Structure 1
């Protein structure tokens, strides 16, 4: 996976926006659904990206995949940093991005989840 594939995949999800919101980190590209972040990466290096993970399985994933590490800036209980070293197949990376997106959507207020569903059916 390269940064353009990553970017297009994230933007293909319902209700997603991209931005560079951190003035002190001008190279960090963030993807949000309804204003809530589900992944971020450095646009210059794409050496890794951060994703939200299920806290019940996060330690198992880190044990199984050395390229999945504790994040530098996010909660270690809910987020992981995925190092783009080529050791993880794209299909699994896409699945992890799906999980991150779905975890964020599941925590949105019901009204926002309904908006997303309505946006999806009107396409």
Structure 2
């Protein structure tokens, strides 16, 4: 899955925006201003493709045990974020999109009722 496909997939989710809140290197996808995916453009361009995604802690542990290229979130909470290293081996497209969906759903689940109502009304 290339970066444009990931970008298109993320932006297709309801209430999603993209920005560079940290610097011009880190592309961040947010749902109603809450981060659910981060990509380093410099690393991607250098052949070190990776994406940080939020995940349920128990599910994270299972994923990390099953896939060597899913590791604790780089520069993120190791409990709540995973980094998927896409350059080290192939993760199925279905798994990548599932984990993007899971990250988005985790963020939405953590929102206030008012925020979720606003999202549903978009």
Whether TM exceeds 0.5 here: the answer is yes
Say yes or no: does 1:4 pair with 2:4: yes
Indicate the RMSD between aligned Cα atoms, in angstroms.
Answer: 1.0
Report the Cα distance in structure 2 between the residues aligned to 1:3 and 1:43, rounded to whole angstroms.
9
1:56 to partner: Cα distance: 1.6
Report the Cα distance in structure 2 between the residues aligned to 1:44 and 1:90, rounded to whole angstroms.
22
Aligned residue among 95, 101, 104 for 2:104 = 101
- Alignment gaps of 5+ in structure 2: none
Corresponding pairs, count:
117
Cα shift readout 1:4-34 (whole Å, capped 9, x = no counterpart): 00000000000001001113xx211000001
Report the Cα distance in structure 2 between the residues aligned to 1:5 and 1:45, rounded to whole angstroms.
17
> Is the partner of 1:30 in helix, strand or coil?
strand
Report the Cα distance in structure 2 between the residues aligned to 1:5 and 1:44, rounded to whole angstroms.
17
- Contact 2:21-2:28 at 8 Å conserved across structures: yes
Report the Cα distance in structure 2 between the residues aligned to 1:63 and 1:4, rounded to whole angstroms.
28
Query: Which of structure 1's runs of 4+ aligned residues deviate more than 3 A?
Result: none
Matches within 5 A, 1:32-111: 32-46=30-44, 47-85=49-87, 86-111=89-114
- For 1:116, the equivalent position in structure 2 comes to 119
> Is the partner of 1:17 in helix, strand or coil?
strand
Query: TM-score, length-normalised on structure 2?
Result: 0.91
- Alignment gaps of 5+ in structure 1: none
Report the Cα distance in structure 2 between the residues aligned to 1:59 and 1:114, rounded to whole angstroms.
31
- Contact 2:52-2:74 at 8 Å conserved across structures: no
Report the Cα distance in structure 2 between the residues aligned to 1:65 and 1:39, rounded to whole angstroms.
19
Report the Cα distance in structure 2 between the residues aligned to 1:7 and 1:45, rounded to whole angstroms.
16
